[in-house]
Amino acid sequence: MLGFVAVAAAVGGAVVGAGHVDQHGARVERFVVAGHREVAVIPAGLRDGERRPLLVFLHGRGGTRAESNVNSAMFAGLARAGRRAPVIVFPDGGDHGYWHDRRGKAWGRYVMDGVIPAALRRLPADPRRVAIGGISMGGFGALDLARRNRGRFCAVGAHSPALWQTAGETAAGAFDDAADLNPCCVRSASLSERQNRFRRRDVD
C-alpha cells in the first residue's frame, strides 16, 4: 500500500475539476471536518460490504491543498492495483500548517481525532488497516504523526519529506519557534539539564 504514497504524489496529470480526468471507475467524495473540505477516493470494484485499507495522504505546502493529488496519475495507479487498491482520504492541511499542533491550530489532533474517524464512518474502509503518508510538508506530517501515535497506523511512508535538524534550516512559517520544531528533543534536553544539575549538587 505504501506504493500509493509515490502514486498520490505523482507530479503532472490533470486534476479533478480542471478538465477531463479518467477516474477509471473510482468515485470521489467530499466532506467537511472542522471547517475544512476533505477529498476521498473510493476505488472501483468494491464488493458489497467490502472494506479496504484506508490511506491518509497529507499534501505539501501551498497549491490546491487537498485537491492537489487527486489527479490522473493517482487514478491510474489505483486502477493498476486492482483489488489491492486502498480507499484514500486527502485532508486539507491549510497552506503551511505542517500537520502538527501549534499555536494557530491543532493540525495533528485535527487529523487524528477529526479526519480519520470521519473517514472511517462514511467510507468503506477497514479501521484496523489505516496507513498514513504524504509529500514534502505532508511527508513530515506523516512521519511525525506516526511517531506520536505509535501502533495506530499499519504503515507509514513519506515522499521527499520536509525534514530539518535545526530551527535555522526550516522553511519560513513551518514552525512557531525552535521548541515547536521538536518538542521531544527540548523535553529531553531539559531532562538532561536537570540531571546534570542534580549531579553537580551531589558533587558539591
- Residue-wise pLDDT for 169-201, tens only, equals 888 888 887 777 765 444 433 333 433 443 333
Q: pLDDT for 130-167, tens place per residue? A: 999 999 999 999 999 999 999 999 999 999 999 887 77
- For residue range 16-46, list pLDDT tens digits in order: 554 578 999 999 999 999 999 999 999 999 9
Q: Identify each DSSP E strand in the chain by its residue range.
A: 27-33, 36-42, 52-58, 87-90, 125-135, 155-159
Read off the pTM: 0.82
The grid coordinates listed for 132 are 498514513
Architecture of domain 3-163: 3-Layer(aba) Sandwich (3.40)
Task: State how far the alpha carbon of 69 is from the alpha carbons of 73, 113, 197, in Å.
Answer: 9, 23, 51
What is the domain partition of the chain in residue ranges? 3-163, 176-204
Cell of 189: 534536553
